Structure 1
Amino acid sequence: MDRLTAMQVFVEIVDRGSVSAAADARDMSRAMASRYLEGLEDWLGVRLLHRTTRRLTLTDAGQQALITCREMLHLADDVVAQAGSGSVEAQGRLRLTSSPTFASAQLTAAVVEFQALHPKVEIDLMMVDRTVDLVQDRIDLAIRISNRVDPTLVARRLATCRSVLCASPAYLKRAPALKHPDDLRAHACVLHSTGFAPAYRLTKRSASDLASVTVPVSGPLVANETAVVLSAVQAGAGIAMLPTYLIGDQLLEGRLQQVLPEYELDPIDIQAVYLTRRHQPMPLRLLIEFLAQRFGGDTAPWDRRR
């Protein structure tokens, strides 16, 4: 048995969800793909997949074997690339995850630009507004907006996510005056559900000691998706804290107005999170570097026009 091919077939089966789809991708018969999978299981002495008429799921041993097989295949790709003095074109399939709003506002365009440079790299975008398990969900790269990093994972900072308090001109025209953070108590705020008591922590830009104030806020509408919060603010529901990567153009065009502009909200890191620095496939290394270059710098690209 060609063990390298068997590992390739196993990884294809997991990525594509069926033996038939993997066989088509590898240009072989379904029976041949099944024989490679069975041969790999015989060699390892464990069952890798639970098979039913409707789906395939990884066993515990299969979860571990999948990680090792990917590393072995990445190493094989690196050997070929080095032998060709870097002339081998990056190719393969990467699975990415991101919040829906960041993917829509910034990441998708970056991915398309990356694929124009590396057309043989396939990318599967999984957009969810929650933290996913990179191993269980077979994620190669997660783009996370957080100042916290799981110590079992590797993270590279890509950019800074800055947010502002904003509202529609229509809301501000009819709402009470807003000159100090305490005035927020008299306003309707559109809130993102986080599980914590709703409050905004504000720091005055001109303060030499950077004194901060935390103001509890409330409002009639709470949502668990940033895009919904934005839609409500656009419709005049109230004030919200929204990231500039999402609303930069609307602030410039006057469709939304920043409130309390002399105060800043705490910035959050935008991070590329992955499982390990060892044995990374060429497409993953290239993508991480590309995103760091595209989003990096002292100021994120979406904030440079502000």
Structure 2
Amino acid sequence: MDRLTAMQVFVDVANSGSFSATADKLDMSRAMVTRYVAELEQWLGARLLQRTTRSVTLTDAGEHCLRRSQQMLALMLDVEEETSSPDSALRGQLRITCSVSFAYAQLAAAVAGFLVQYPQLKIDLNASEGALNLVDTRIDLAIRISAEPDPALIGRVLAPCASVLVASRSYLATHGVPESPADLAKHRCLSYANFGKSIWTLRRGEEQAKVSVGSHFSANEATALLSAALAGGGIALQPTYLANRHLADGSLQQVLPEWTLPDMAIYALYPSRKNLSPAVRALLDYLVARFATVPW
């Protein structure tokens, strides 16, 4: 039995919770996936997975095996990269994560451009609003938008991230245009659950206003709020990387343009500088250059 392949199969089953999904991803039969897991369990002398008709969960032994298998697979990739010739093309697979809205608006296109330069690389993008544990999920690079990133991770700033208040012209025609931050309390506001759900802070020079808004619709994902704003649902707080093209074509109008919202930054985060692979370094450099020059 190829034990490294068995570990890869086991790790994928543990992450996906599905033998069938692993078979599809790894392009092998479900019976072969089952065989690899069974032979790994036989080799270790322990049951790694609890299987029912509806779910696959890890046993205590499986939890320990998952961590060690992830370490072994990562070490294997390191050995392959370190022993390949310096002028060889980058290859292997990178796992990255970012928010749904940033994947949709920016990162998917950036990754496509990067892969044109490095066609032997593969990239698995996990678009999620949750903060994934990079080590446990074997994520190589996380793109996160924050004012204060996780201090346990190494961070590199890709770009600033500004936000604006926007609404459709039809909503403003019906409900009126706010003239001051205090007017927001009278409006239907669409709030992002992870960014001050009920309190919006605005600045104009040295002046600051904190407004408790009536959130008639909140969501943990920015594109959902963007769609609601485009449909006339209210005033939304949106990152400019999503809102700018709608402001440009007139489908949205900026509200209180003389007031600014707190800026955040777009960070590329990774667990450690030690043994950072050439592929991750190349992707980091590419993203820094792209977001420094493209008027995104």
The TM-score normalised by the length of structure 2 is 0.81
Partner of 1:79: 82
**Consecutive unaligned residues in structure 1, runs of 5 or more:** none
Partner of 1:102: 102
Superposed displacement of residue 203, structure 1: 1.0
Deviations 1:196-252 (A, max 9, x none): 551211111xx2xx3321111114222232222111111111111101111111111
Alignment of 1:1-306 (within 5 A): 6-7=3-4, 10-11=7-8, 13-15=10-12, 49-50=48-49, 52=51, 55=56, 57=58, 59-81=62-84, 84=85, 86-194=86-194, 198-204=198-204, 207=205, 210-296=206-292, 301-302=295-296
Query: Which stretch shifts more, 10-19 or 146-155?
Result: 10-19
Change (3 A) 1:133 1:30: closer
- The alignment covers a number of residue pairs equal to 283
Query: Which stretch shifts more, 192-201 or 255-264?
Result: 192-201
Query: Given that residues 197 and 215 in structure 2 are in contact (C-alpha distance below 8 angstroms), is that contact kept between their aligned partners in structure 1?
Result: no
Which structure 1 residue ranges, 4+ long, deviate > 3 Å from structure 2?
5-9, 15-25, 29-39, 46-58, 194-197
Change (3 A) 1:276 1:63: farther
Superposed displacement of residue 125, structure 1: 1.5
Deviations 1:88-133 (A, max 9, x none): 1111112221111110110100111111111111111211122122
Superposed displacement of residue 76, structure 1: 1.5
Percent identity between matched residues is: 34
**Consecutive unaligned residues in structure 2, runs of 5 or more:** none
Change (3 A) 1:241 1:23: closer
Query: Given that residues 99 and 127 in structure 1 are in contact (C-alpha distance below 8 angstroms), is that contact kept between their aligned partners in structure 2?
Result: yes
Superposed displacement of residue 14, structure 1: 2.1
Q: Using the alignment, how far apart are the partners of 1:265 and 1:142 within structure 2?
A: 24
Q: Using the alignment, how far apart are the partners of 1:12 and 1:111 within structure 2?
A: 26
Query: Given that residues 97 and 127 in structure 1 are in contact (C-alpha distance below 8 angstroms), is that contact kept between their aligned partners in structure 2?
Result: yes
Structure 2 letter corresponding to 1:129: E
Query: Given that residues 156 and 271 in structure 1 are in contact (C-alpha distance below 8 angstroms), is that contact kept between their aligned partners in structure 2?
Result: yes
Q: Cα RMSD between the aligned structures?
A: 3.2
Query: Given that residues 23 and 33 in structure 2 are in contact (C-alpha distance below 8 angstroms), is that contact kept between their aligned partners in structure 1?
Result: yes
Deviations 1:4-49 (A, max 9, x none): x744652465247769779868xxx88996799579x66xxx9694
Q: Using the alignment, how far apart are the partners of 2:197 and 2:187 within structure 1?
A: 17
Structure 2 letter corresponding to 1:127: A
Q: Secondary structure at the match of 1:59?
A: helix
Change (3 A) 1:47 1:275: farther
